């Protein structure tokens, strides 16, 4: 099959009221990739259609050594030294020794199109291939109910759980209810350390958390979820709280575009994770916490 002809099937973010007939997998936190295989020729295609083969040559080389013919679907991930999936390693480019290609579906094999097959039959083929060698892993299935696995995902700090119906066909490029994704969203209360301007309007607010040594650590900005009322409130608050210098020990590189605040306001946000670089991933504003004082917003687990 010619590279670029297909796009991966996508899940919908919709809860399951009844998970009968569904199987559950980890929602991997990496780069989605289709692997086109023709003997020693390998083309790794991103979800958007770009070539990932040069960026992840170790994956391409491992697949080329198999001399397979087909198209696999999976996720390129990076593992930390503790064996935990860490998306920040992929983005930083420092993940060469820890990259894995986690395979969870097959679209064609030995020139036969398998997309009309039910998921259970495609999975059986993957299990017969003995995929888990070198940097290639077969995505494990999770035992138990969806509720149990969501609890496990929360405890293990996974991005979430994907549920797939055992009878599901593979629908290239389609976001389908045959597959459901359940993201684990966390929340925290942070100190509002200021806001950024864009065309003389509030673009986003900045958040900080107190370290054990008393320093205030900048952990990122959030614009998603901010309504007009909240933006106008921040502009009004600048008259009482503005500072000429950043109140944080690690101000962002674009500090000149900020209006800085005295540590007083508290905002609650939801997010996917706090990266090892102390940055919130995909934060969204929920509300201001007028019932909480800034000093209570501390970085959990800070050992300094």
Reported as a single tens digit per residue, the pLDDT across 7-19 is 999 999 998 989 8
- Please state the rounded mean pLDDT for residues 37-53: 94
Say whether both 97 and 206 belong to one domain. Answer: no
Sign of the alpha-carbon dihedral angle for 105, 110, 115, 118 = negative
Q: Looking at the 3D structure of the chain, how many domains does it have?
A: 2
4 assigned to some structural domain: no
Say whether both 114 and 133 belong to one domain. Answer: yes
Average pLDDT, the chain: 91
Say whether both 54 and 193 belong to one domain. Answer: no
Q: Which two tokens stand for residue 244?
A: 């000429």
Range in 56-60, 119-123, 297-301 the model is least confident about = 297-301
Model pLDDT, residue 301: 60
* pLDDT(92) > 80: no
Say whether both 129 and 160 belong to one domain. Answer: yes
What is the Cα–Cα distance from 103 to 175, expressed in whole angstroms? 19
How long, in residues, is the chain?
304
- Please state the rounded mean pLDDT for residues 270-280: 87
Tell me the pLDDT tens digit for each residue of 171-183: 999 999 999 999 8
Model pLDDT, residue 276: 79
Tell me the pLDDT tens digit for each residue of 146-195: 999 999 998 888 889 999 999 999 999 999 999 999 988 889 999 999 99
The number of helix segments (H) and strand segments (E) in the chain equals: 5, 20
Say whether both 116 and 24 belong to one domain. Answer: yes
* pLDDT(291) > 60: yes
Say whether both 99 and 15 belong to one domain. Answer: yes
Report yes or no: 182 and 152 within 8 Å, Cβ to Cβ: no
E-strand spans in the chain? 10-12, 22-26, 31-38, 41-46, 69-78, 99-109, 112-113, 136-138, 141-142, 160-165, 175-183, 186-198, 201-210, 216-222, 242-243, 258-261, 266-271, 273-274, 280-281, 284-288
Using only C-alpha atoms, what is the Rg of the chain? 23
34 assigned to some structural domain: yes
Domain boundary among 183, 209, 233: 183
46 assigned to some structural domain: yes
Model pLDDT, residue 95: 59
pTM for the predicted model, two decimal places: 0.76
- Count of CA atoms in the C-beta half-sphere (13 A) of 58: 14
Of 191, 167, 168, nearest to 269 (Cα)? 191
Q: State which residues form the domain around 138.
A: 10-183
- Please state the rounded mean pLDDT for residues 52-75: 94
Say whether both 43 and 173 belong to one domain. Answer: yes
Model pLDDT, residue 257: 85
3 assigned to some structural domain: no
What is the Cα–Cα distance from 248 to 237, expressed in whole angstroms? 18
CATH code of 197's domain: 2.40.50.140
Domain boundary among 150, 183, 216: 183
Model pLDDT, residue 166: 97
5 assigned to some structural domain: no
Say whether both 36 and 165 belong to one domain. Answer: yes
Catalytic positions are: 27
Tell me the pLDDT tens digit for each residue of 220-230: 999 999 999 99
Domain boundary among 156, 183, 210: 183
Report yes or no: 255 and 244 within 8 Å, Cβ to Cβ: no
């Amino acid at each position: 099959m010619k590279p670029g002809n297909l796009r991966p099937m996508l899940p919908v973010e919709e809860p399951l009221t009844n998970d009968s007939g569904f199987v559950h997998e980890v929602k991997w936190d990496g780069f989605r990739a289709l692997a086109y295989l023709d003997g020693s020729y390998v083309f790794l295609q991103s979800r958007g259609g770009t070539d990932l083969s040069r960026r992840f040559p170790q994956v391409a080389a491992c697949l080329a050594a198999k001399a397979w013919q087909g198209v696999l679907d999976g996720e390129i991930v990076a593992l930390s030294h503790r064996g935990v999936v860490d998306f920040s390693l992929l983005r930083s480019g420092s993940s060469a020794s820890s990259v894995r290609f986690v395979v969870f579906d097959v679209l064609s094999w030995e020139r036969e199109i398998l997309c009309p097959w039910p998921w259970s039959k495609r999975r059986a083929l993957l299990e017969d291939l003995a995929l888990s060698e070198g940097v290639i892993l077969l995505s494990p299935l999770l035992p138990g109910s969806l509720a149990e696995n969501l609890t496990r995902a929360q405890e293990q700090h996974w991005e979430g759980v994907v549920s797939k119906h055992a009878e599901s066909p593979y629908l290239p490029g389609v976001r389908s209810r045959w597959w459901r994704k359940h993201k684990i969203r966390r929340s925290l209360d942070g100190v509002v350390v200021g806001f950024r301007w864009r065309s003389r309007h509030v673009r986003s607010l900045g958040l900080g958390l107190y370290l054990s040594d008393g320093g205030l650590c900048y952990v990122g900005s959030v614009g998603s979820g901010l309504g007009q009322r909240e933006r106008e409130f921040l502009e009004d608050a600048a008259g009482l709280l503005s500072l000429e210098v950043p109140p944080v020990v690690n101000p962002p590189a674009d500090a000149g575009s900020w209006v800085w605040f005295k540590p007083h306001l508290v905002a609650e946000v939801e997010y996917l994770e706090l990266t090892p670089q102390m940055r919130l991933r995909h934060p969204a504003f929920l509300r201001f916490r007028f019932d909480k004082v800034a000093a209570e917003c501390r970085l959990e687990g800070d050992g300094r």
